[in-house]
Amino acid sequence: MKIELTTQQKDAQAKFRAFVDEEIVPLANRYDQEERTPPKLIKNLAQLGYLGAILPKEFGGKAMDMITYGLLNEEIGRGCSSLRSLLTVHSMVARALDKWGNKSQKDYWLPKLASGEIIAAFGLSEPNVGSDAKSIETTAILSGDSYVLNGQKKWITYGQIADVFLVFAQCSGKASAFLVEKNSPGLTIKPISGMLGVRASMLAELHFQDCRIPQDNLVGKLGFGFSYIASSALDYGRYSVAWGSVGIAQACLEACIQYTSERKQFGVYLKEHQLIRQMITEMIANVKAARLLCYQAGYLKDNSDPSSIVETSIAKYFASTTATKIANDAVQIHGANGCSSEYSVARYLRDAKIMEIIEGSTQIQQITIADYGYQEYMLQPTPAVISQKLLART
């Protein structure tokens, strides 16, 4: 089997790369240091249609196939992991509404999400709840024609600037999903700063104190919040993070190729030293391997294959751990320069570590993949049964 991009996918990839090289790469370190993403950059991302990448054309989206969407995530991740995180969470909310929203919700929200008129964020994690997402503590109580929310969300990507949040809360003991606009009475947004990586992703805490929202803001049905809405959205989030991790690894490889071709030690360029060549070799092989796993996951998603869920977990696990290893080697190759903010590899290492935590940590992926292995190679259930079980875990 030969894996080869179509002409359209190659053209799209070239456009993505040009955009990243011209508008993101030159200033990405500044965004990281300032811990913010300029509104103009987000506007440019929206004008190109990238915020509506996976939405149907009827709502103003680009209706990208999954491979093209993956290439977009790789290129933006190569330039700035924070901006790629915006693409991730915005698309997760858009995907959730497209699949689970009712007609009025779709007609109102999706065109605005596709155009970038509004920015969306994903509100699942809490101070006491991370990987154990089913144990969320935020509550929603039906009161008249409104739901009243109480609780707290934390680590909300682009929560500082989002216009609407997809918030998960317990309602009568059932995990459910709700749309909460930023100006809802009872919602307070607190910026988070000083993070290890993806510093420009403008994280926030959300505090709900008798926050009242319309009853119509329930997405799907009561009890659909985790098993259906959050799980399917997180699957797409993992896919985006996997490709973004490939982007980080590719950026490290390119930085090391350039650096070792320019810097001399012991009278020769670094690239002439055998141990350096060994490190570069491992980078090249692992970048290609991670990208191939992402291709596989994307191909299966485009074909609605149930096994795409576990293949996405495998791609996310391998790509994120690979990005961390490659970024660590990149800093080592750069020496003291690699520990300086003047060189991007320091940022790549910090960002790569975050990739191992978000959208299901490395350890959660290991549990998921091991479960799949025992089920697949010992019990031989159908792919649909495997996927159903995997969706129950973030």
Q: What is the CATH number of the domain that holds 322?
A: 1.20.140.10
Are residues 272 and 385 located together in one domain of the fold?
yes
Record the pTM. 0.93
What is the spatial distance between Cα 358 and Cα 390, in angstroms, rounded to a whole number?
17
Please name every residue paired with 212 in a beta bridge, in sequence order, or none if there are none. 148
Query: Do 27 and 95 fall within a single domain?
Result: yes
In a domain, 2, yes or no: no
- Domain hosting 375: range is 226-390
Domain boundary among 90, 118, 146: 118
- Domain membership of residue 328 (yes or no) is yes
- Does one domain contain both 101 and 248? no
The one catalytic residue among 23, 205, 356, 359: 359
Is 1 inside a domain boundary? no
Structure confidence at residue 383 as a pLDDT band (50, 70, 90):
low
pLDDT value at 387 more than 80: no
DSSP classification of residue 163: S
Looking at the structure, tell me whether residues 230 and 378 fall in a common domain: yes
369 and 352 in a common domain: yes
Whether residue 138 is found in the same domain as residue 72: no
Residue 41: which of 18, 19, 14 has the closest Cα? Answer: 19
CATH code of the domain containing 25 = 1.10.540.10
Measured CA angle at 234 (ends 295, 314), to 5 deg: 40
What the block records as the tokens of 236 is 């797409």
- Quick: pLDDT tens for 328-371: 999 999 999 999 999 999 999 999 999 999 999 999 999 999 98
Indicate whether 184 and 76 sit together in one domain: no
Is 35 a catalytic site residue?
no
Is the predicted pLDDT of residue 384 greater than 80, yes or no?
no
How confident is residue 132, by pLDDT bands cut at 50, 70 and 90? confident
- Find the CATH number of the domain harbouring 134: 2.40.110.10
Q: Which of 170, 195, 221 is the last residue of a domain?
A: 221
Overall number of domains in the chain: 3
Q: Considering 221, 253, 277, which residue would you say is the last residue of a domain?
A: 221
167 within domain boundaries: yes
Helices 81-100/103-115 angle, 10° precision? 160
Is residue 321 domain-shared with residue 241, that is, in the same domain?
yes
Q: Does 214 share its domain with 233?
A: no
Whether 332 is in a domain gets the answer: yes
84 shares its domain with 140: no
Answer yes or no: are the C-beta atoms of 337 and 343 closer than 8 Å: yes
Query: Is residue 262 predicted with pLDDT exceeding 90?
Result: yes
